[in-house]
Amino acid sequence: MQEKLQALADSLIAGRSLGAEGFGYLLENRTPQLAQALAKAAVAVRQKIYGRAVYVRGLIEISNICKNDCLYCGIRASNKNCQRYRLGPEEILACADEGYRLGFRTFVLQGGEDAYYTDELLAGLIGALKGKYPDCAVTLSLGERSYESYKALKGAGADRYLLRHETADKAHYESLHPPAMSFENRMRCLRELRGLGYQVGCGFMVGSPGQTAQTLAKDLQFIAEFKPDMCGIGPFVPHADTVFAKEPAGTVELTCFLLSVIRLLHPPVLLPATTALGTIHPEGREMGILSGANVVMPNLSPVSVREKYALYDNKICTGEESAQCKDCLSRRMRSIGYEIVTDRGDVKAGEAL
Ligand code: 5AD
Ligand code: FES
């Protein structure tokens, strides 16, 4: 391997961050050989903390109604071809019941920014979930809300919050979002969630329009500094009814490379092999795990709504029942020598290293 690349790889493997210039160089000059070396090191680091466990989180897609108009997203407000739905508290609890029966101990409630879900409604729902299943973690992924709202939901018992930062470059952020959304507000949300004691997940799409080695370098620096408990990264996949319909999808290769880098940068991070990665390659999720990921998120939503929750085209798992989805993932993980575990799987301290 070229000398400078080798030195950067050695630094990362030794647990040092690289700085914007170093990350940029690493990304622009990466080779299959480098990717292999980083994946091997990432798997070894994860193995020390988490062994061969892959954590499962049951994903409940509660609503595709969204007031935002993110340029990349299939459920953006201006998409008139999207058949809208929302699940009421009873339907959400029924999904969780099924999930609990299947062994899930983390429920992720994800949805668009839908004003139907007031703080009162959500607090009641979270209270009901935690009352019924005190051994479960409740994760919310409901977009940008006020400090008071995040506080109320934490008070009601929510444990974790997923809010991808989408890109750590302000100009790039603005090119992916309408003027009504701001990079500052996104970062405000992440800081406040952290301050309130949530376990926090950030993340970004790989290959989003306008992304460069330099914007990705900023994402990596942000992750190195923010040290999220979780980090969701998956390829951008175009959706036919969005501005970015004709843009190319992100690649498996770059997504897996970044999974390895992020594992090395922040060893204890919970890192999902995402559905989007499984969508662009039939073995995408397996490849993600073999690059350093350690979480999968099978779909627990009612089968009748899964097609409608289309953030991007050709999403997988839309025809399967929850039990089938879980069994499918168990089989897939076993086929590469990993075991899915259904306990809460809280983030482990890096000191285990
Ligand atoms: N391709 C891939 N991921 C997408 N997301 C939204 N639209 C797309 C798309 N077209 C991701 C965003 C969001 C998460 C819930 O899904 O990063 O934060
Ligand atoms: Fe859903 Fe395979 S994980 S069908």
Within 6 Å (CB) of ligand 1, which residues are found?
Answer: 72-73, 164, 166, 205, 234, 236-237, 239, 276, 311-312
For 192-211, the pLDDT digits (tens) are: 999 999 999 999 999 999 99
Ligand 2 center to residue 298 CA distance, Å?
7
Which residue carries 């100009």 as its tokens? Answer: 171
User: Which of 60, 236, 301, 316, when mutated, tests ligand 1's pocket best, judged by the most ligand atoms within 8 Å of its CB?
Assistant: 236
Determine contact, residues 230/295, Cβ cutoff 8 Å: yes
User: Does the domain at residues 2-341 carry the CATH identifier 3.20.20.70?
Assistant: yes
Which residue, by CA, sits nearest to atom 1 of ligand 2?
Answer: 325
Ligand 2 center to residue 4 CA distance, Å?
41
Ligand 2 center to residue 317 CA distance, Å?
5
Q: One-letter amino acid identity for 134?
A: P
What is the CA angle 93-98-99, rounded to 5?
Answer: 90
Residue 313 makes CB contacts below 8 A (sequence gap 6+) with 74, 237, 238, 239, 240
Domain-by-domain residue ranges, the chain? Answer: 2-341
The pLDDT assigned to 6 comes to 96
Q: What is the DSSP letter of 343?
A: S
Determine contact, residues 323/81, Cβ cutoff 8 Å: no
Residue 303 makes CB contacts below 8 A (sequence gap 6+) with 318, 319, 320, 321
Q: What is the DSSP letter of 231?
A: E
The pLDDT assigned to 113 comes to 98
Which residue, by CA, sits nearest to atom 3 of ligand 2?
Answer: 325
Averaged pLDDT, groups of 10, the chain, 353 residues long: 93 95 98 98 97 96 98 98 98 97 97 98 98 97 98 98 98 98 98 98 98 98 98 98 98 98 98 98 98 97 94 93 92 97 83 45
Number of other CB atoms surrounding residue 324 within 10 Å: 13
The pLDDT assigned to 350 comes to 57
H or E element at residue 200: strand 199-206
339: three-class secondary structure by DSSP: strand
Structure-block tokens of residue 15: 């647990």
The pLDDT assigned to 341 comes to 93
Q: How far apart are CA 266 and CA 17, in angstroms?
A: 9
Which residue, by CA, sits nearest to atom 7 of ligand 1?
Answer: 73
Q: How far apart are CA 317 and CA 306, in angstroms?
A: 8
Which residue, by CA, sits nearest to atom 14 of ligand 1?
Answer: 164
Q: Is the CB of 298 under 6 A from ligand 2?
A: yes
The pLDDT assigned to 353 comes to 44
Instruction: Considering only CA atoms, give the Rg of the chain.
Output: 19
Structure-block tokens of residue 184: 């500052």
